[in-house]
Chain A
C-alpha cells in the first residue's frame, strides 16, 4: 500500500532522514520507535507534505502513485492521513465545519457531489462513538481549549470520518493518561481493516500493549536500525534503546 524507498530528508539544510526503506502492505500496522531526535516526527511530517522538509533523495509510492509529487492537500485526498503529534488550534472554525470541508474536498476529488448535511451529521455522530466524544465537540472551534487527551481523540475521530488508506499516527500516545490512552487505542483498533495501512510512531512501548503491531522498526539517527515483530517492542521496553544506538555507532565506526 505504501512503499518508502531510500528516503533522505533535510531540515534547514541538515540531513535528518538518511535513507529510509519501508514497505507496508494492505491492512498492516507498523510501529516506528526510536529515541528523541531519531527522525520519527520528520518522517511523519514529510509523508504528509510539510514544506519545511526537503526531500533530497528517494521515493514514496502510495497505491501505485508517487506521493512526493503531490501537494499536502492532494495526498490527503488520495487517502493519506496524519494524526498530528501537536494538533493545531483553529479559533473560529467549528469542528463540524472543518470536517465537512475536509470530507467534501475528498468527495469532490472523487467526482462526487457535496454531502447532504443530514447524512453527514448522521455519519459524524456515529464516528464520535469510536473515540467516545460528545456531540458538543462538533460546535467547538477546532482543538481550541481542548485538553491533551481531547486533541488526540479528535485526531482519531477525524481519521474515522475521513477513512484513509494510509494512516500515520505521530506520537498519538504521548502525554496521555491511561484512560485516554485506552480510548485512543481502542479507536485505532476499531479502524484497523484489510484495506487500511497504519504507521504508528511512538516513543513509548506502552501504546503497543493496546495496539498490537505486525512489525516494529527502530529508527536511530535517520535510519531504520532494527526491525522485528511485536516481541522487539518488549525487548526495547526491558533494555531501552542504548544497545541499538551502540550497535549503530559500532557499525558506523567499524
Chain B
C-alpha cells in the first residue's frame, strides 16, 4: 500500500512562527501537539460530509502568510460607528492580528474582572488560563481549531469572578485592513465564574480589501448559575475567508445565549458548539445570515446535552439574494443520561432570488429515551398575498417588500437584548435591502 502525502503548505510558516514567537512551555506544547494533529487531518475537503458545499481548497493550496498589524494602521474615528456607546464597558481592539493598546480601554470594569490581551494573560494568569485554554471540546476539535491552536499567540482573555455581574458589554474588535492572502487567528477565552454575569461582543470587521483568512476560535466557560451572552458579528470584506468556532461549556443552572449575524465574507463558516454539562442549563443559539452576490454562509450548530433536565433552542434565519449560498446544519446530541432534555431547533430561509441556494439539515442523535426534541426548517419566498395586503393599504410595493423581508429576521433581532448592537445590525440589513432597488 502506498500512502500519498501532500506536503502541508503551512509547514514552513508554522515552523518560522514557532521559532520566532516565544511563549511559556505549556503554550508551546499546545502549539506543537495541535500542529501535529493538523498535519494529520489537513484541511477538510468537499468529500467530508460537513464540508460538502464549503470548498476551502484555496486555503489548502495557497499558504496564506501571517498578517502583521502595524500599531497605528487604524484610527479611532474609523471605529466610531462600531462603538456601543454607554453599553460598552470595555473595549479590546486587534488590527490585523495585533493588539492595539491605544484603541483599547478596560478601566471601566468592576474590580476583580480581567479583560486583557491573551498573550499577557498566558504569563500573568497561568492559573486562570491554563485549565481552560484549548481544552473545551476534548478530542472533538475541528481541523481549523487545531490550526488555530498551532498558531496560538494572542487574543483576548476575560475572567469574571464568582458572583460578579459586569454591566454593559465587553467589546472585542478584530479589525482587518487590506491585505493579500494574509491570515489571522482571532482568539477569545472567557471564563465566567459561579453566579456571574457577562456580555461579550465579538466583532469581526474588514475595513480594507483583498483575500484574507481569519480563523477564529472562541472558548467560553460558563460557571454554575452564571449568565453569559455572546454576540458574534461577521463583517469582513467580501473577498475573505472567515472560519469561526465557538466552544462553550455550561455548568449546572447556567444560562448561555449566542447571537450571530453573518453579513460579510466570501466564504463564512460559523460553528457554534455548546455542551450542556450540567442540569437545568439553558442554551439559546440565535442567528441570522444574509448572503448576497457570491457569498457563502455556512452555519453548523452542535448542541450536546450531556446531563438531564436542560434546554436548548436554536433559532436561525437566513435571507439570500443574488447567487448566494447558505447552509444550516443543526446537530443535537442527547447523551444517554440526559433525560428530560428539551431541545428545539428552527431554521427558516427566505430566497430573494431564483439563483440563491440554501441547504438546511437537522441531525438528531438521541441516546436517552425520555426527551423532547423538535425541529423545523422552511425555505420560501416573499408571500405575494402579504405584498398585496400591504399594497391594498397604500404601501408602495418596494416598501412592502422591505417591510416583509426585514420582518423575516426581526424575530432574531428581538432576542438580541444589547440595543446599540441590535440597532447597528438592523441598520445594516435595512441598508442592504435599500440597495437592492
A residues with a Cβ closer than 8 A to B are 48-51, 71-73, 76-77, 81-82, 84, 87-93, 97-99, 101-102, 105-106, 109, 141-142, 158, 162
Contact = CB atoms under 8 A, between A and B. Distances in A.
Contacts of B410: 92-93
Q: How large is the interface on B (under 10, 10 to 19, 20 to 34, 35 or more residues)?
A: 20 to 34
A59 B194 CA distance: 74
B393 A76 contact: yes
B407 A93 contact: yes
A179 B386 CA distance: 28
Nearest to A142: B389
6 shortest interchain CB distances as A-B pairs: A92-B407, A76-B394, A102-B393, A88-B389, A72-B391, A73-B391
Contact of B389 (A87, A91, A106): A87
25 contacts: A48-B388, A48-B392, A49-B391, A73-B394, A73-B395, A73-B397, A73-B400, A76-B392, A81-B392, A84-B392, A88-B389, A90-B386, A90-B403, A90-B404, A91-B407, A91-B411, A98-B390, A98-B395, A101-B395, A102-B390, A105-B393, A105-B395, A106-B394, A141-B407, A142-B389
B363 interface: no
Interface of B: 383, 385-386, 388-397, 399-400, 403-404, 406-411
B386 A105 contact: no
Nearest to B414: A92
B385 to A, nearest CB: 5
Contacts, number: 83
Contacts of A72: 388, 391-392
Interface residues of B: mostly helix, strand, loop or mixed? helix
Contacts of B396: 73, 105
A90 B407 contact: yes
A77 B390 contact: no
Given A71-B397, A90-B386, A93-B410, 16 more contacts: A50-B388, A73-B391, A73-B395, A73-B397, A77-B394, A84-B392, A87-B389, A90-B389, A90-B390, A90-B403, A90-B404, A93-B407, A99-B393, A101-B403, A102-B390, A142-B389
B401 to A, nearest CB: 12
B394 A92 contact: no
Contacts of A89: 386
A88 B386 contact: yes
Contacts of B395: 73, 76, 98, 101-102, 105
Given A72-B392, A84-B389, A105-B396, A92 B383 contact: no
A101 B394 CA distance: 8
A202 B407 CA distance: 33
Contacts of B397: 71, 73
Nearest to B408: A92
Nearest to A83: B392
Given A73-B396, A88-B383, A93 B403 contact: yes
B388 A102 contact: no
Given A50-B388, A90-B389, A92-B408, A98 B403 contact: yes
A101 B390 CA distance: 9
